[in-house]
Structure 1
Amino acid sequence: MKRYLIVLCILHLMATAVPAWAKAPREIAGYRLGQSLDSCYQRVVAGPVYPVRLRPYLMEVPVVVPQGFHSGYIIYGNCADPGIIARIKVKYANDSRRFFDQLLNRLKQRFGDPDEYKGDAFQAYLAWKWSFEEPDGQRITMILSHYSGDDDEHTQGNALKLTLTTQIAKERRCYEAEEKRKPKPGMRLGRGQGRAGAPQNWDNLLPRP
């Protein structure tokens, strides 16, 4: 009888555990990593398109999101594969910590425990990161976050970010290769410019009231 109970427990664990080969998350709010922006262009919010800060090889656009979400953004490449979605960011309508905990538990059930904690030690910013590698070598990360502070660097409330990291790396390599091919114009330095040491005019380098 004891052996029978042990076998049942093992079978239950095998049935409920998330397998290592579970499929990586690729889609959220009706948008899918690797998808062409053209296939969902009618849901893009009209307005200017901006390059991602410090990453000129990526562009970001706001998109229409379904009920349950507050806002969403799509990031796509503009070099190696123009228009291919490399990242999806969504903010949930519910900003509460309780909702975040519920999301975290459900994500654990579907995709297993996260691989890394990315938040701060004081838990003003909570962030958990999952990393996946698909059979074809493509890598995907998922970050669930909650923030209740007043720093603009973090999204307020609850947010989720899916990233096709291999696609972003591909776009970066393409951009760097193109930059190397561009002719470098000659630059004439004035007296005192381009030399190490103290700046000539600190006032120009400091913020003002």
Structure 2
Amino acid sequence: MKRPSAFIILALILLSAPCLAAEPLPLTLSVFTLGKDVDLYQSYCDGSQGLSQTDIPFLSETNLRADSVPGVRGGSLTHGNCLGDRKLLRVKLKFHDTSQKFFNALLKEYTKQFGEPDSYQGDTFKNVIAWQWNFARGKEAVSLLLMWSRDKEMRPGVSIKMTLESLLDAEYDCYKAAFDKQEKDQGGPTAIRNLNDFVPR
């Protein structure tokens, strides 16, 4: 009897292995789905217009109303302001339960669902504990950050940040092209005249 070739055996293994099947990207956190029109979620927001972030001018962020989602004390929805399609590219949620016990319970569920985190984003002293998962499919990429903090400047308590990184990159590229053109039209950036002006005294 003719034995099957190694190529056929390998093909059968690849086709039958469930772990190698293309997994869909996680895009939905609570009621919010990345890539959707941010205006769909106006009823969850505090009524203010999305404000451009001074250090990230190509993004606009709108705060969530406390308890618009049960158990959530606050957070924000972010969309880009360069491409013009107002797609939701980031969700941040902060919870009423600020305990490390709640964080650990979420971490257990995340690990069960997504496997071990891809990177640790917290500090060495564990004032901030943050684990990140990264997902990619084709040209789309998503990051998911689960964080617990006791640092008053780093969202104290438990928070989740989920970002459609591929859309974030597209918004940045759009902004950078427009900024570079504007700077060129204005004759280029100005230069520092005296370094001592920037030494505190």
Task: Indicate whether the TM-score tops 0.5.
Answer: yes
Contact in 2 for aligned 1:22/1:111 (Cα 8 Å): no
- TM-superposed CA distance for 1:197, in Å, is 4.1
Equivalence for 1:140:
142
Runs (5+) with no aligned partner, structure 2: 1-17
Runs (5+) with no aligned partner, structure 1: 1-17
Q: Does 1:26 align with 2:27?
A: yes
The letter for the 1-side match of 2:145 is I
Where 2:185 maps in the other structure, the secondary structure is coil
Contact in 1 for aligned 2:44/2:69 (Cα 8 Å): no
What TM-score, normalized to structure 1? 0.77
Distance 1:52 1:107 in 2: 29
Equivalence for 2:71:
68
Task: From 111, 114, 139, give the equivalent of 1:111.
Answer: 114
Distance 2:181 2:151 in 1: 44
Equivalence for 1:163:
163
Equivalence for 1:57:
58
Task: From 75, 84, 93, give the equivalent of 2:96.
Answer: 93
Distance 1:147 1:34 in 2: 28
Distance 1:70 1:42 in 2: 15
Distance 2:193 2:133 in 1: 45
- TM-superposed CA distance for 1:84, in Å, is 0.5
What TM-score, normalized to structure 2? 0.80
Distance 2:195 2:150 in 1: 42
- After superposition, the C-alpha distances for 1:147-183 in whole angstroms (9 at most, x for unaligned) are 0123x1x111000000000101000000111122225
Where 2:78 maps in the other structure, the secondary structure is strand
**Structure 1 residues 93, 23: CA separation in 2 closer, same or farther (over 3 Å shift)?**
farther
Contact in 2 for aligned 1:57/1:77 (Cα 8 Å): yes
Where 2:26 maps in the other structure, the secondary structure is coil
Distance 2:200 2:127 in 1: 30
- After superposition, the C-alpha distances for 1:104-158 in whole angstroms (9 at most, x for unaligned) are 0001111111100111111110000000002x320000000000123x1x11100
**Structure 1 residues 105, 51: CA separation in 2 closer, same or farther (over 3 Å shift)?**
same
Equivalence for 1:195:
193
Where 1:58 maps in the other structure, the secondary structure is strand
- TM-superposed CA distance for 1:90, in Å, is 0.3
Distance 2:163 2:104 in 1: 22
